[in-house]
Amino acid sequence: MSYTLDVYRGVLKPTRHIFHFFAYLSMFPQLVAGPIVRAKDILAQLAVRQHVSESDRWDGTRLILAGYFKKVVIADNLAYSVNYAFNSPQMSQSSLYWWAIITAFAFQIYCDFSGYSDIAIGLARWMGYRFKLNFNHPYIAHSIRDFWGRWHISLSTWFRDYVYIPLGGSKTGPLRGHINMWVTMVVSGLWHGAAWTFVIWGALHALYLSIERLTDWPEKLATSKTGMALCQVIVLIQVWIAWVFFRANDFTQAFSILKVMFSFNTVMDATIGFKALAILVSFGLWEFTHRIKGNLIPQGILIPHPMAQVAVYSIVAACCIYLRGPGAEFIYFQF
């Protein structure tokens, strides 16, 4: 669709090489679930013979191992507790339990989505091609706008460029700008599935964005390190609330869970609490040891010596084999 629309709007010249066109359409690393690769980003690479360097092979290997670690060690291990909670015939009435479960789901879906993207980007690097970064530490965002600049970047920018801007964006006046944003977010919710839960998920994010535009509260609050930290906490709470609707089996279950979450009782399932805390700490360490390198790949673990990095990623590979969770398909396959 992006190729057709870009050619129609005159922002991209149609390729005259049929094999380049079909290679773009069928490039297997990102074919099933993304990241969304625009024709303008890949056709130029296809026109030049790609030479795979030693750095490309190592960067690709790191990304693939990182992706598998996030998927099979973190996401799949969290999936069991999350699925049990949402599919249990008798819903827990513990506020802390549901905050822990939604936290677990937040990291499950992030590691599942970004893990797949890392694997796809790594496979492309092995072939000599560069895909753009798709996730950029979204849970450190200080506003919902910042969150959408970091979460599933290829999809959020796709909706921006092919839905929001064609509707007029924010250039048609404040009121129309809000309407265009609401339409875009609700459509993005429906893109994930024809269910009211996805519509509410999209509408909630639209509401968050409208409030930010009207009040500028993140900019006003984030004037110090303490204010910035408070902004990040508020954004996490907003995103967590929306995740309830994204994961819930139906509208009624979502509201029942939110009612329990905000009852603030202190009953807690110790096992679930320990698991959620353990995953949170381990993932926090993983995120801390990675940084962004350019706009292409997450930089490796912060160990300067190459052989030390090899040793660390060997341990990561061993974890993928021996600490993997029960096998589960990628969440994105259902959309």
Measured over the CA atoms of residue 2, residue 5, residue 11 and residue 17, the dihedral's sign is positive
Place of tokens 């802390």: 96
* Alpha-carbon gap, residue 142 to 218, rounded angstroms: 7
**Are the C-beta atoms of residues 177 and 159 closer than 8 Å to each other?**
no
* Alpha-carbon gap, residue 22 to 34, rounded angstroms: 17
| List of long-range contacts for 172-175, beta carbons under 8 Å, 24+ apart | 174/213
Point out the catalytic residue in the list 20, 137, 178, 192: 192
Place of tokens 């970064």: 133
Question: Other C-beta atoms within 10 Å of 321: how many?
Answer: 10
Is 192 an active-site residue? yes
Looking at 152-305, list the stretches that DSSP marks H as alpha helix, in order from N- to C-terminal side: 153-159, 174-192, 196-215, 217-221, 225-247, 251-261, 270-288
* Alpha-carbon gap, residue 31 to 197, rounded angstroms: 27
Q: Which residues are catalytic?
A: 192
